[in-house]
Structure formats: C-alpha cells, structure tokens
C-alpha cells in the first residue's frame, strides 16, 4: 500500500472534508516537496506554524543538540534547563506584566489551562468569547469557540459561556460601518455581561486577529474599549495568540497593535517552528492561583520543543523578521486590494502582516462563495501554490506563509491567484 492507501485504510480522517492530494516528502524554507517530485510554494505554513520556515537550520541544530542530551523527563517533576530558559524568554518578550508560563502540548491544552487558571484566580466560572472565534477542539475550548460550524454535532458543551459580536467589519452584526459605528460591537460586550451571564464571568477570551474565523482584524480601538469594560467588571482578558503570535502579524504578538495588557496570553503553533508545544503565560498572581496538585501535563514543555522554541524566537528577533513581515505583508495586501477592483468575486481583502484573508462572494449581497473558494484553492495547488481555506462561511482564502518567504515567491503566488480568480469569475 502506498501512503494515500494506508491513510484511507488506517488513519482516521473521517472528520476531514478533503485532504489536499499531496504526499509531502520534505520541506525547506517556504517550499514543500512532494513524493512525486513536485514543488509547492507553501502559503499556509501547516496552519500558520512554521513561521521561521520549514526545517530552519538554527531550530534544527538546537533541537538535535537537545535530543542528544535529553528527550523527556517531565517539566513538572524535575528542573530542566531549556524549560527554564524558554520561560524566562517568554516573560521578556510578551507584553506587560505577563511573567509565569505553564507549558502544554497544543493550543487547545494551553487554552484549557488558561480557563482553569482564570476560574481559580477569580473564583468565578463563566466565560465570554467572540462570535466566529476558535479556541480549540477539546470540550472546554469548543465551549468558548464561537465558530458554530466547528461545534456541530459535538454538544452538549459547558454551560456558562456567552458570545459577544465579532469585530467583523465586512459583515457587521449591527449593519454599521467603521468608524461611524463608534465601536458598537466592542461596547455591546457590556450588554452581554449584564444580560447574558449571571455575573460570574471569570474571563473574556479573544484572538487579537482571528484566524479560523476568516482572518478578522478588529479595528484599532477595539481592545481598548473592551478592556475598559472588562476592568469595570473584574473580568480577566485572555489573548489567544495561538495563531497570531511569533511574528505572524508583524509584531511578536498581535495584541501589541492594540496597546492593552492581557492577564493571560496563550500560545502554540508558531512557538517552536513545527515542534509541538503549547503554553500560557500569566501575571504572577493569576499563575499562582494554581495550587499544588491542580494541574500537570506529561509531555508539556518537552525539552526538545523548548530548545527549538528558543532558537525559533532568537531567529525571529535576530533577523528582524517582524519588520520584514510588515513590509512584505503591506506590499502583498496592496496588490490584492488592486485585484479586488478588478474582480467582483473578491468581496474583501484584510489582514495584518502575513496573516491575510481573501473573502470570496457570489454577488453584491455578499452571498458567501464557498465552492468558488474551494475551487480556487484546488486550482492554486495545481499550479504549485498551497493556500488555506477558512472563515465561518468557508469562503475565505487564507494566506499565511512561512514568514521568511521571499518577495519573488509571494509574487509568483499572487500571479497564480490572479490567474485562477480570473478563470473562476469567467466560468461564473
């Protein structure tokens, strides 16, 4: 049996709509090489993970050196150097007073732990999150996920969760337009607290830039308004930077654009350039709400992943990757915005840095063009460009390449996208 046949026989993919028909053999930088000798420009980074590029030499070197010394002992049973070094580094690079890190394996596990810390710190048990949000696939994190398509069939979820309207300007819940809206969606959070909870809200979870929901970028003043409301009600603010962190948006953490201080910040994906690791960092008093015996993760903070994470963060900082991301992202977005003038099917272009979304619509009423988005993804793949798909309506093309992607590679990707959008629009 070949790889595809074995997948079909033995790998449980029954939950996946369609696996991209590419058998990946290896990858380097922004290029993925398939078993049948094809090359692809990776514009999705394995769902926004390999920020420093596939098989980054410096990350590999650090991981290999650590692997020769120690692969596992358990972060919460013994003292391990790369764990301590990474925790110190995270305290240095995250905003505000965030200081103590709990290490896990994934974004969902980090968010679960962050939920628990918020409950224990506040003594409250309810949560508020955003419509369209995504926070993971465990029961707790799905409960605070506002992207209903991801929750279908999985209930019942935790009670005590409420959702505030997403800062999704292209499809504003109130039918308003920024800036005349006066940030109605942010202010509405107070109504949610007062009329949709019993007043026992521990934390408000939000992605500073929403990923799975379709690359939704809140207006610049959004989190300031939200934080002011949260502070009045003594509710913690948890920034889920699982997807937006580690340079993806042109800042180390996307919340830096909004100049507010989260009480907890969760991370995974881009933290270790592909090595599995999740974490949440909190203000010291919040972190200390865990009491002995409360929490643990056997593999969480694996030494090899931690060593890889340190090298990854050093690589991003040393090479001024954030600056490059801003520059490349702006240039690429401008090209896409020009393209939008040409093709009606492009309803919206939005993003920050190299976290870019292209929302496709069928008509002036903004009817989501999900089949067309799927078609575009397939056509791009056939021409050697791998892009992602997302959005609450499944009609957003996601462009989230490794941050080290070259302008030439981006330019090539742009031309392939343009050519295929033209094809799809003509066919319609």
Please report, as ranges, the residues that interact with ligand PMP according to CB under 6 A.
47, 106-108, 111, 134-136, 207, 211-212, 240, 242-243, 268, 278
For 229, other C-beta atoms within 10 Å of its C-beta total 19
Instruction: Closer to ligand PMP by CB, 295 or 383: give it.
Output: 295
Helices 407-427 and 321-342 pack at an angle, to 10 degrees, of: 20
Q: Cα–Cα distance between 97 and 36 in angstroms, integer?
A: 50
Q: Least distance in Å: CB of 115 to ligand PMP?
A: 12
Instruction: Closer to ligand PMP by CB, 90 or 242: give it.
Output: 242
Q: Cα–Cα distance between 220 and 108 in angstroms, integer?
A: 27
Instruction: Closer to ligand PMP by CB, 47 or 176: give it.
Output: 47
Structure tokens given for 349: 């272009």
Q: Least distance in Å: CB of 203 to ligand PMP?
A: 14
Closest CA relative to residue 210, chosen from 396, 13, 82: 396
The CB-side HSE value for 236 (13 A sphere, CA atoms) comes to 29
Cβ atoms of 304 and 71 closer than 8 Å: yes
Backbone angles phi, psi at 165, to 5 degrees: -60, 140
Q: Least distance in Å: CB of 191 to ligand PMP?
A: 25
Instruction: Closer to ligand PMP by CB, 242 or 322: give it.
Output: 242
Instruction: Closer to ligand PMP by CB, 250 or 409: give it.
Output: 250
Backbone angles phi, psi at 96, to 5 degrees: 60, -140
Q: Least distance in Å: CB of 268 to ligand PMP?
A: 4
Q: Least distance in Å: CB of 201 to ligand PMP?
A: 20
The CB-side HSE value for 327 (13 A sphere, CA atoms) comes to 9
Backbone angles phi, psi at 73, to 5 degrees: -145, -30
Q: Least distance in Å: CB of 332 to ligand PMP?
A: 21
Task: Select the residue whose beta carbon is closest to ligand PMP and give its number.
Answer: 107
Q: Give 20-81 as a DSSP string.
A: -S--EEEEEBTEEEETTS-EEEESSHHHHT-TT-BT-HHHHHHHHHHHHH-S-S-TTTS--H
Instruction: Closer to ligand PMP by CB, 163 or 414: give it.
Output: 163
Q: Least distance in Å: CB of 283 to ligand PMP?
A: 20
For 279, other C-beta atoms within 10 Å of its C-beta total 30
Instruction: Closer to ligand PMP by CB, 106 or 420: give it.
Output: 106
Instruction: Closer to ligand PMP by CB, 144 or 361: give it.
Output: 144
Instruction: Closer to ligand PMP by CB, 52 or 345: give it.
Output: 52
Identify the helix (H) or strand (E) that includes residue 237.
strand 236-240
**CA dihedral in degrees (268, 272, 276, 278; nearest 10)?**
-30
Q: CA 292 → CA 208, 289, 296, distances in Å?
A: 32, 10, 10
């Amino acid at each position: 049996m070949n790889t595809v046949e074995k997948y079909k026989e033995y790998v449980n993919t029954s939950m996946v709509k369609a696996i991209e028909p590419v058998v990946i053999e290896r990858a380097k930088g922004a290029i993925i090489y398939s078993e049948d000798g094809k090359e692809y420009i990776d514009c999705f980074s394995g769902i926004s993970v390999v920020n420093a590029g596939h098989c980054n030499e410096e990350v590999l070197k650090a991981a290999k050196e650590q692997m020769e010394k120690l692969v596992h002992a358990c972060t919460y049973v013994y003292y391990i150097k790369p764990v301590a070094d990474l925790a110190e580094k995270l305290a240095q690079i995250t905003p505000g007073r965030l200081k103590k890190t709990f290490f896990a394996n994934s974004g969902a596990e980090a968010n679960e732990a962050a939920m628990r810390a918020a409950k224990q710190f506040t003594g409250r048990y309810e949560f508020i999150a955003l419509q369209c949000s995504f926070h993971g696939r465990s029961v707790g994190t799905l409960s605070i996920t506002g992207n209903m398509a991801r929750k279908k069939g999985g209930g019942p979820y935790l009670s005590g969760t409420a959702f505030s309207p997403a800062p999704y300007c292209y499809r504003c819940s109130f039918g308003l337009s920024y800036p005349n809206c006066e940030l109605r969606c942010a202010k509405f959070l107070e109504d949610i607290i007062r009329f949709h909870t019993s007043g026992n809200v521990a934390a408000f979870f939000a992605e500073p830039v929403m990923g799975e929901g379709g690359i939704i970028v809140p207006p610049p003043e959004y989190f300031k308004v939200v934080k002011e409301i949260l502070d009045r009600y003594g509710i913690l603010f948890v920034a889920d930077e699982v997807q937006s962190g580690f340079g993806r948006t042109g800042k180390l953490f996307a919340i830096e654009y909004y100049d507010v201080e989260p009480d907890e910040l969760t991370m995974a994906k881009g933290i270790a350039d592909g090595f599995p690791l999740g974490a949440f960092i909190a203000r010291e008093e919040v972190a200390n709400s865990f009491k002995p015996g409360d929490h643990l993760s056997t593999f969480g903070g694996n030494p090899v992943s931690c060593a890889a994470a340190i090298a990854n963060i050093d690589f991003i900082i040393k090479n001024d990757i954030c600056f490059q991301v801003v520059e490349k992202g702006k240039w690429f977005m401008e090209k896409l915005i020009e393209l939008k003038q040409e093709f009606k099917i492009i309803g919206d272009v939005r993003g920050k840095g190299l976290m870019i979304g292209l929302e496709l619509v069928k008509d002036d009423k903004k009817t989501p063009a999900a089949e067309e988005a799927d078609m575009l993804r397939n056509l791009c793949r056939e021409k050697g460009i791998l892009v992602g798909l997302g959005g609450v309506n499944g009609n957003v093309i996601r462009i989230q390449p490794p941050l080290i992607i070259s302008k030439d590679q981006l330019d090539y990707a742009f031309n392939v996208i343009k050519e295929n959008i033209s094809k799809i629009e003509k066919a319609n």
